[in-house]
């Protein structure tokens, strides 16, 4: 059955009132069931860098197919990546955002965590999800996730995949092994950008870091950009900057 027409204004008002609290960010289409196909996205300016290296990072993302963002905590690497990805999804320039990161604490074995895969991976995805919510709004973010247009996937489950029409973000990349990084980078398909973020001062694995190795190997490869952030780019807070500098002494 198609969209019902000819419904009087009173009924429309009652239906809208009934569902307005739970689905206040959706346009209601009345059918045999209530379906929600379109969003009123929150009005927000396109992502822009606020430090010199954030600007460089954003430019590299736009110009290259693969961009590495390397630097300490609080420099906005993840925020810029998520902001750009959400802008592209909202404007229908891509079909999907995929977010991944190595689960270094549990040696990439999600089976040792309780619950189903999505539940197991939720704590790893939450920091990036928070940024998407800030950019898109909570309802829109949940909607895209239900449609599979925003997907969180453990790095261990990437093998065999090819990503097209997507932006794929690898966070905490310093904790990948060389083989994991090679596997990830070779997933790239048509109209897809890979954004790889990491802090080489926070390597938590005993094996050589795939991030360090990839930057060394790919620094002269066309369509690959590498942007290094420093303490002047720390925007999280003044005390965050002071702490990082203290640990470097």
Confidence of residue 49 (pLDDT cuts 50, 70, 90): confident
Q: What is the pTM of this model?
A: 0.77
Q: What rounded mean pLDDT belongs to the chain?
A: 80
Q: Contact, 78 vs 173, CB < 8 A?
A: no
| Domain positions in the chain | 9-39, 52-248
Please state which CATH class domain 52-248 belongs to. Answer: alpha beta
Higher pLDDT, 190 or 19: 190
Please answer whether residues 150 and 144 qualify as being in contact, where contact means their C-beta atoms are separated by less than 8 angstroms. yes
pLDDT of residue 41: 54
Render pLDDT for 180-223 as a digit per residue (tens, 0 to 9). 999 999 999 999 999 999 999 899 999 999 999 999 999 999 99
């Amino acid at each position: 059955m198609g969209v019902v027409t000819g419904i009087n204004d009173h009924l429309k008002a009652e239906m809208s009132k009934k569902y307005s609290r739970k689905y206040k960010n959706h346009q209601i289409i009345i059918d045999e069931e209530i379906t929600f196909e379109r969003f009123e996205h929150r009005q927000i300016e396109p992502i822009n860098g606020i430090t010199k290296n954030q600007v460089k990072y954003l430019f590299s993302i736009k110009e290259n197919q693969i961009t590495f963002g390397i630097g300490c905590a609080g420099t906005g690497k993840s925020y810029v990546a998520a902001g750009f990805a959400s802008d592209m999804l909202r404007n229908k320039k891509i079909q999907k955002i995929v977010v991944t990161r190595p689960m270094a604490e549990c040696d990439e074995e999600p089976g040792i965590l309780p619950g189903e895969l999505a539940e197991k991976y939720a704590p790893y995805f939450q920091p990036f999800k928070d940024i998407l919510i800030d950019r898109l709004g909570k309802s829109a973010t949940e909607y895209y996730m239900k449609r599979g247009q925003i997907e969180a996937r453990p790095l261990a489950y990437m093998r065999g995949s090819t990503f097209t029409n997507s932006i794929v973000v690898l966070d905490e990349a310093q904790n990948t092994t060389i083989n994991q990084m090679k596997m990830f980078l070779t997933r790239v398909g048509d109209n897809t950008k890979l954004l790889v973020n990491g802090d080489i001062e926070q390597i938590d694995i005993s094996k050589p870091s795939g991030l360090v190795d990839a930057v060394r190997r790919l620094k002269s490869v066309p369509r690959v950009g590498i942007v290094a952030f420093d303490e002047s780019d720390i925007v999280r807070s003044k005390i965050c900057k002071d702490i990082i500098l203290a640990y470097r002494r």
